[in-house]
Amino acid sequence: MSNDRNYGRNQLGQDRYTNNPYASGGATAFDPERAMSTRANFLINTYMHLFGAMAAFTLIEVFFFKSGMALPMAKAMLGTSWLLVLGAFMVVGWMARRFAYRSSNMAMQYLGLAGVVVAYAVIFVPMLVLAEMQVGGGIIQSAAMVTLTGFAGLTGVAWWSRTDFSFLGGLLKWGGVLALVAIVGGVLFGFNLGTWFSVAMIGLAGAAILYDTSKILREFPEDRYVAASLELFASVALMFWYVLRLFMNRR
């Protein structure tokens, strides 16, 4: 009887060991190749969703302009205050970042990404209408190319330097607060936020891209690639907005 019990215990231990995918030599083993593969898939999915969001944003804007909806939308939004539009842009970006980092549900991540893309597409309409009607000459395409070039360069810096840019988090928070204060001040007191404000905001957007990319490489959970792409999309949209605004101010 005692032998049967010992045999049962030994057999149970063998089964546990055999069925444990991490067991190796009697100890839990870390599989670096599997970890690298999982992280690589996360990064691929993140940037695929980012480029998909950019493409969706572009298609929505094309629809607004081709359908004739862009001009009435721009008139309605500019009928309030241009600085209020700027404020709405900042608030949507801030909410996007908070949602991106906190949401773990995949369906909610997709809903958040779709909502942010549509919201930005609507908020961009008056800026794009003014750029096309008052300046023209391919200014939108030029601003888009500069933005994509800047994004690619900053992404390369974050990837190849492997620097931890988490220290930029505090700068981004205070920079965003100061930008909102400046916008509110402009609305209340009627002063114009000129070229230097656009330059400062482009710098802030560049810092946001470095910060987001560093966080995606180091911290983001691997099941939140949609949320990670949402956060990057908000930073790229911020840069595009102020690059375009800078180009418009200089012509």
Burial level of 142, CB count in 10 A (0-12/13-18/19+)?
Answer: middle
Q: Does the CA dihedral 107-110-116-117 come out positive or negative?
A: negative
Please check the confidence at residue 119 and state whether its pLDDT lies above 80: yes
- One-letter amino acid identity for 46? T
Nearest CA to 223 out of 126, 73, 58, 107 is that of 107
Q: Which residue do the tokens 């096309």 mark?
A: 132
Q: Are 12 and 18 in contact (CB under 8 A)?
A: no
Query: What is the CB neighbour count within 10 angstroms for residue 114?
Result: 14
The residue-averaged pLDDT of 163-181 equals: 85
Q: Residue 23 carries which DSSP code? A: E
In this prediction, residue 10 has a pLDDT band, given cuts at 50, 70 and 90, of: very low
From CA 108, how far away is CA 226, in angstroms rounded? 10
- Could you report the per-residue pLDDT of 186-244, keeping only the tens digit for each? 767 766 777 888 899 999 999 999 999 998 988 888 888 888 899 899 899 999 999 99
- Could you report the per-residue pLDDT of 25-57, keeping only the tens digit for each? 444 454 455 556 777 889 999 999 999 999 999
In this prediction, residue 111 has a pLDDT band, given cuts at 50, 70 and 90, of: confident
Measure Cα distances from 73 to 68, 221, 245, 248 in Å: 9, 39, 19, 20
Crossing angle (nearest 10°) for helices 225-249 and 82-102: 160
pLDDT at site 251: 62
Annotate 113-134 with DSSP letters as a single string: HHHHHHHHHHHHHHHHHHIIII
Q: Does the CA dihedral 50-55-58-59 come out positive or negative?
A: negative
Instruction: Copy the structure tokens of residue 38.
Output: 């999982």
Q: Mean pLDDT for the chain?
A: 80
Nearest CA to 82 out of 116, 131, 126 is that of 126
- One-letter amino acid identity for 239? M
pLDDT at site 93: 67
| Per-domain residue ranges of the chain | 1-30, 39-249
From CA 132, how far away is CA 74, in angstroms rounded? 12
